Structures are given as C-alpha cells and as structure tokens.
Amino acid sequence: MSVRLVMLGPPGAGKGTQAERIARARNLPRVSTGDILREAVHAGTALGRAARQVMDAGRLVGDDIMIGIIRERLQQPDAARGFVLDGFPRTVVQAMALDDLMNDEPPLVVLDIEVPEEALVQRLSERKICANCGWIAAPGAVTCARCGGPVIQRRDDEVDVVRERLRVYARDTQPLVDYYRRRPSFRSVDGDQSPEAVTADIAAAVASVLGDRQ
C-alpha cells in the first residue's frame, strides 16, 4: 500500500537518520528539503545563494520557496507510491499547502520526535558533517564514511546558532504539533534514547496507523 510520512521534530532530534531508515524499510524515497537546499548552496544557484544567508543565521527559508520545492519533488515518478518527508512542513502554512497537494487516501502519517532542549544543544554543538556530501559523521571521525571527504562543523551547528534555531523552531514549527495532534494518524515518539530504540518505536507507530500493512 502507499505510505506517506511526515517527520517532525526540532533540529538535532534525528529526523534525517530516522527518515532514511524508515524510507529504506518501506522502500520509499526520502525527500529531504535540507539536502535539496544544501545541493543548491553547493552548486551556487540563485536559490542556493539566497538560502545560504538565511540558513547560516539559523533562520528558516521562506514558505513560498519550500512549497515550490516540495510540489515539484512530489510530482516525480518515484513518489507516486509514497514518500518520507524530512524537513517539510516546518510551518502551518506549509502544512496547509501539503494538505492541498494530498488526496484523501492513504492517510498522511505524522511522526513527532520529542527531545529535551539541552540534549539537542549538546547533540548539535558536537555534530560534524562531511564538507563534500553533508553526511553526518560518527563521533570522533575525521573523514566521511560515505565519500571520504573532510569532516567539519557546520556554521549553523555552533552553540549560538543552535539556540537561535531552537528558538525559531519553537516559534514557527512547534505549532505544527497542535495542527496535526488531533488527527488519528499522528504519533509522538521519544527521541531521547538510542537511535535503534527510536527506529523501533517509529516502526511500531507507523504500523499502528497503517494496521501493520506493508
């Protein structure tokens, strides 16, 4: 059956890791707006140049740009039987636009990964990524396990920017939980545990919405 998932949660909650795992398990494309934007930044496109200044300051890229990106991406053939959205929607305006793109069936499964703020600050301020491909490095790694590139700290993972990102999330993105909470396809997951435990809880949450049908 078709499966359409939205991953919610603050920066550092592990959305990317968990989105990739559930996408692989369900044989769905993972649609990461962060990856799309970073590719544009790396390529130096007009979108990339505009987005870089916003992201480096810890702010969110505007709704119109993000909605356009997602509309175009979800029209591609590999998304016809479902998808896992990572990084979209981030505002209620984006969520309403996503609803407009969806038909009534199957349900949009919404997963909210919850992690305490101080744990998020610690995670993000210690995080390193590959300068070439954006892969999140294992603790202590100096080169990327995927492409061998150098490992660096992103400007928006520095402590002052992290706290600004969390403030922006609380202001703009946390209201999404209220928007989705009353839906029978909404689930909250404890993200303050091992990645493997979070993966298991997410799989169980998705199965509970879909009636355990693959």
Long-range CB pairs of 140-147, under 8 A, 24+ apart, other chains included: none
Phi and psi (nearest 5°) for 12? 90, 0
Phi and psi (nearest 5°) for 110? -115, 120
Q: Catalytic: 4?
A: no
Residue in 123, 128, 154, 187 annotated catalytic: 154
Q: Catalytic: 165?
A: yes
Residue in 4, 15, 26, 38 annotated catalytic: 15
Residue in 21, 52, 165, 187 annotated catalytic: 165
CA dihedral (119, 55, 60, 174) in degrees, to 10, reads 0
Q: Catalytic: 15?
A: yes
DSSP annotation of 70 reads: H
Whole-angstrom Cα Rg for the chain: 17
Nearest residue to 150 via CA among 126, 131, 136, 125: 131
Residue in 59, 81, 127, 163 annotated catalytic: 127
Q: Are strands 129-130 and 151-152 parallel, antiparallel or unpaired?
A: antiparallel
Residue in 90, 123, 128, 187 annotated catalytic: 90
Query: Helix, strand, or coil here: 203?
Result: helix
User: 15 and 199 in contact (C-beta within 8 Å)?
Assistant: no
Q: Catalytic: 128?
A: no
Q: Are strands 186-190 and 151-152 parallel, antiparallel or unpaired?
A: unpaired
Instruction: Give the whole-angstrom CA distance, residue 124 versus residue 6.
Output: 22
Q: What residues are labeled active site?
A: 15, 90, 127, 154, 165
